[in-house]
A and B are shown apart, each in its own frame.
Chain A
Amino acid sequence: MSLLRTEGLRASYGQVDVLLGIDIEVNEGEMVVILGANGAGKTTTMRAVSGTVARGGSVVFDGIEIVSESAEAIVRLGIAHVPQGRGTFADLTVEENLRIGAYIRQDSVDSDIARWFKTFPRLGERKSQKAGSLSGGEQQMLAIARALMSRPRLLLCDEPSLGLAPLITQELFGVLKSLNQEEGLSVLLVEQNANLALKVAHRVYLLETGQVVASGSAESIAGDERIRKAYLGG
């Protein structure tokens, strides 16, 4: 069943149109990856879904039209966005970052915090440190854990591997994969590292200058000679 579906999704920064009508879909329990070169509109697609850029067209989440909803409202509906560049609160401690991640919830969040400290032990060790003092990998872990504190049904994750060591990237992807497979969390992922992304994703959309130019199962995309040449380094 379709959890998220965009139709003719458009977005622009000022006068510059970045998305020229994007149709993508994420089904319940699916992990979907968006590939594409720099400037193709991957990040803007994520921002258009989470409501952090001016957009038009249609975005339906769980049967509700959200294209004119604010970012604050959209997270309440169950979409959490891990932005590019992580967007942690540098002046807040690690634990405060997690607490504010659960801002929309009224119930107790201590057990969730304990859970993410167990998943990411290094965050637990640094829980009283300012987030700004963490390494890039730790900040990315924190950004993901913070997003999950809101208990989303759909996680938008924008280039989690950016600037990280391969080992850390693998650890992060391992966590994302197990969240998806074991807990049925739906994930929409933007990733430059296509080889890695194709290993964990069910389906793929390929973006070029603000449009979807190819889509299909991860296997079919990975097997497509043309796409391999253009995006996967042969």
Chain B
Amino acid sequence: MERLLQYVFDGLSFGAIYALLALGLVVVFRGTGHLNFAQGEMAMFCTFIIWQINEWGVPLILAVAIGMLFGFVLGAGTEATVIRSVAKKSPGGVFVVSIALFLGLNSLATMIWDRAEGYTMKSLFPNKDVDFVRILGAEWRYKYIGVLIVALALMGLLFLLFSKTKFGLAMRSVASNPESARLVGVPSGLVLASSWGIAAAMGALSGALVGGINGQLTPSLMFSVFIYASAAATLGGLDSPGGAVIAGLSIGIGEQLVAGYAPGWIGQDLKLSVALILIFVVLLVKPSGLFGSLKVERV
């Protein structure tokens, strides 16, 4: 029982991070219909920026805020320059461009912050050995609780932005019908750039949270996180923010359970494959995901 609860606690925090990154994927997909394969590497790059600023003496929390701002500019700038001009000519080209961005950002980070053993990343939350609360025998570490709270709070803000603000309505209108959005005066370019910006800013935060949990920062920081996030976005339905959150949390918990309970031959090594198999099965059986919308339209 304690063990189960322990896995659930840990899984929730990791799941919240996957959900954040998955939400970024969903925001971009809803806006432009593209999967941004560089989402994870953008997050990793922003995390290095955060680490660097923090290293220069800026308090970590402020560094995270600056890193998110940097992420916003990076994401919005990428959309407004490379993505938009390529998408106009060939939608499939965007896929290739995002792979190129993935590799480019990874190489750039390796070039600038070249050190095989990586760097020590501080956590935003207390993470000494004694910083935990015991619930029903399971340890819930403060840094995990903090991650969960921050991630859930940001998701809440994002939902308010989507559903309650004029900007959110404008974003959804561009996603629904770009030409009509222009006809009612929505500056679709600005909206699309902003959705990439928001996605990258969320990525920056998730990177800082992952780095804080791991305590270590290398250019491969987001590899597995991105795969879990992609699985979450696919499972939840690529156009469903709520689905991404629920699927992200479930995958986080599932990952801990698989790693903990399953026989040794799955364990830590193969659990990433479980996520990939999940993506495969979802695409095969229910391509719209659990909560994604099939386009239904009467004519």
Contact = CB atoms under 8 A, between A and B. Distances in A.
B39 interface: no
B84 interface: no
B224 interface: no
A114 interface: no
B176 A92 contact: yes
Interface string B174-190: 01110111111111100
A88 B184 CA distance: 11
Contact of B185 (A132, A133, A150): A150
A42 interface: no
A134 interface: yes
Contacts of B1: none
Classify chain A: how many residues form its interface, as a range.
20 to 34
Interface stretch (B54-62, B99-107, B252-260, B291-299): B291-299
Interface string A123-141: 0000000001111100100
A112 interface: no
Contacts of B187: 72
A189 B170 CA distance: 27
Contacts, number: 83
B270 interface: no
A133 B295 CA distance: 11
B182 A91 contact: no
B70 to A, nearest CB: 28
Contacts of B186: 72, 100, 103
A87 B179 contact: yes
A83 B183 contact: yes
Contacts of A90: 176-177, 295, 297
Contact of B182 (A71, A146, A149): A71
Interface string A165-206: 000000000000000000000000000000000000000000
B184 A146 contact: yes
Classify chain B: how many residues form its interface, as a range.
20 to 34
B293 A91 contact: yes
B184 A104 contact: yes
B170 A100 contact: yes
Given A89-B177, A103-B170, A71 B298 contact: no
Contacts of B169: 92, 96, 99-100, 103
B173 interface: yes
A52 interface: yes
A167 B156 CA distance: 47
B166 interface: yes
Contact of A52 (B170, B183, B295): B183
Contacts of A149: 184
A226 interface: no
Contacts of A76: 185
B243 to A, nearest CB: 15
A92 B296 contact: no
B298 A89 contact: no
Contact of A132 (B179, B181, B297): B297
Contacts of A101: 184
Given A100-B181, A163-B299, 14 more contacts: A50-B183, A70-B182, A72-B187, A75-B183, A80-B183, A83-B180, A89-B180, A91-B172, A91-B176, A100-B173, A132-B295, A135-B298, A149-B184, A150-B185
28 contacts: A50-B183, A52-B182, A52-B183, A75-B184, A81-B183, A87-B179, A87-B180, A89-B172, A89-B176, A89-B177, A90-B176, A90-B177, A91-B293, A99-B169, A100-B181, A103-B166, A103-B169, A103-B170, A103-B173, A104-B185, A132-B295, A135-B298, A136-B298, A136-B299, A139-B298, A147-B184, A149-B184, A163-B299
Interface of A: 50, 52, 70-72, 75-76, 80-81, 83, 87-92, 96, 99-101, 103-104, 132-136, 139, 146-147, 149-150, 163
